[in-house]
Amino acid sequence: MHSADQNLADKDLESLDWNELLNLKRSFSSHLMEASNDIIEVEKSRIQPLNSKIQSNMDSLRSLVKKSREVRNSLKSKNSEFLAVSQKISQSKDFLSTMESRLTNENEENLVRALNSLTESLEDTQHRTQNERNAITQEIKDKSMKLEAIKAVKMIKQGLDQLNNQADAFKDSIRILNLENEDLNNKINFGRSTIDMLYNERRKFLAARQDLLNTYDAAFKKLELINLQMDKIARVRRQRVHLPGRNINDSAILKIKEAAKRKLDSGSKLSFEELKLLYSEEV
């Protein structure tokens, strides 16, 4: 608004004549149009794009959080499986430690040959007494137990190798999942930071839009007052009232009419001209 119009706007509207009010009305109408365009511009060019960015980032964030939850569940499952394998490894090592402490230095091949020889001796019934046969039978049992123990240890060792391979595989999976989870957490934190930044930026433009709306509302109310004052002057002009011996403008007539109303309300006596002015037909 121009400084001259601002000076008029700061004055009492009742002190302005028709032309001044008309100029002020045009100025405020133009001001309203500018404010309206500014509001639309802020909404379309600033707030709506920010709303779209916020929604897009929120969708991405929800997707990342969902993926992170899935990775954490996978981590929990893998850790549980790794713990079970670790317990089996520990049990196998304990069993091997117990079994190996009981084994002699005899190897599987020597035991097999000894068992074959003892079996052949046991079958020679003609040259063996019963005591010798019993002794051979006991020795066969002892060596058979040793052989079974060696085979059991061998089997446990093979199983332990498989368990160690499984544990290594779980460790690799857990390591990869931890890296993925860390990467997702970084992306989630960045996404949240980005959304906070967008919200802060939107709040600034919402505040700017509110300032424009306040300016618009104030200008609209002022324009309504201007229109009311112009309507009053228009009604006075239609009444065509002329007081004798005076050349009175529209604003002065309005003031005289208001004064006449106050005199009437207070019970004072009115002149004929005041009565005519007060009770003349208003359209």
pLDDT digits (tens, 9 = 90+) for 128-186: 677 777 887 888 887 787 778 788 888 888 889 999 999 999 999 999 999 999 999 99
C-alpha 132: how far from chain center: 88
33-206: CATH number: 1.10.287.2610
DSSP string over 124-169: --TT--HHHHHHHHHHHHHHHHHHHHHHHHHHHHHHHHHHHHHHHH
Question: Domain residue spans in the chain?
Answer: 33-206
Q: What does the pLDDT average to over 4-22?
A: 71
pLDDT digits (tens, 9 = 90+) for 206-264: 999 999 999 999 999 999 999 998 888 887 776 654 444 445 555 666 666 677 667 66
Separation CA 143–CA 160 (nearest Å): 25
Cβ 63 vs Cβ 197: under 8 Å: no
Task: Report percent pLDDT > 70 for the chain.
Answer: 77
pLDDT of amino acid 79:
95
C-alpha 123: how far from chain center: 86
Token look-up 């964030």 returns 61
Radius of gyration (Cα) for the chain, nearest Å? 53
Cβ 47 vs Cβ 205: under 8 Å: yes
Q: What is the DSSP letter of 14?
A: G
pLDDT of amino acid 192:
97
Contacts (Cβ under 8 Å, ≥6 apart) of 115: 140, 143, 144, 147
Q: What is the DSSP letter of 46?
A: I
CA dihedral sign of residues 217, 220, 222, 228:
negative
Task: Report percent pLDDT > 90 for the chain.
Answer: 46
Separation CA 124–CA 143 (nearest Å): 19
Q: What does the pLDDT average to over 8-13?
A: 66
Separation CA 2–CA 9 (nearest Å): 10
What's the mean pLDDT when you consider all of the chain?
82
Structure token digits, residue 78: 């893998």
